[in-house]
Amino acid sequence: EISLGLVGSEMCIRDSFWIGNDGMNYSELDEGYYYYESLDSNFRFNAPTFSIEKNQNFSVEISIINPSDEDSLYYGLMIGEFSPQNYTVDFMINDLGQYKIETNINISSGNYNMEDNLEVRKLKVLKKEATTYFYINDILVYNYVLDSLNKFRCGPLTSSAIWMDYIKIEKEKNAL
């Protein structure tokens, strides 16, 4: 496997993720973390495009912190392409120990094991063959047969704000 990017330094984040304020979104780098905020309380995402073939195996892992004091607000990871022809897979959690996985429909929702005083949450999506596995803090919470994604984007998703420590994207090497 090869790594497409480990975003944990200012240089990688500057090269991959949008930074600025457009009236709906705000983002900045602060002490090595990527801060991303939805300014109008609607779900927003910042998801650059990465080169992954539609049937290729891949994994995406994100380490995020919810700076909001609203424990019931969901935040997480978006993968796929947001357009009328395609859909995204939204893998979201909140600080009450709940998760949900959605496309254009709710795929799964439930509770996850919240460790006491653990501020940082790690979400991982692993696609192997036709099955996609969803992990929270390295614990499998769901697996799902996912149709191939026509385009591939991934990044943080929130209706409030998040701090992102890193995002790691890996893909299987193409056979020669």
pLDDT digit string (tens) for the chain, length 176 residues: 223 343 333 334 445 677 888 888 888 888 778 888 888 877 777 766 666 766 778 888 988 887 767 777 888 888 877 665 667 788 999 888 899 998 877 888 999 887 655 677 899 999 888 888 999 999 999 998 876 666 677 778 888 888 888 888 887 765 43
Pairwise CA distance, residues 128 & 133, whole Å:
8
Verdict on whether the full-model pTM lies above 0.75:
yes
Q: Are 135 and 21 in contact (CB under 8 A)?
A: no
Quick one: pLDDT at residue 3? 33
Quick one: pLDDT at residue 163? 84
Q: Are 49 and 152 in contact (CB under 8 A)?
A: yes
Backbone φ, ψ for residue 13 (5° rounding): -65, -45
Measuring CA to CA, which residue among 93, 99, 102, 6 is closest to residue 50?
6
Quick one: pLDDT at residue 11? 30
Quick one: pLDDT at residue 15? 54
Placement of tokens 């330094």 in the chain:
9
Placement of tokens 């501020």 in the chain:
119
Strand order of the β-sheet with 44-45 is 44-45, 153-158, 75-80, 88-93, 98-102, 106-111
Pairwise CA distance, residues 166 & 51, whole Å:
19
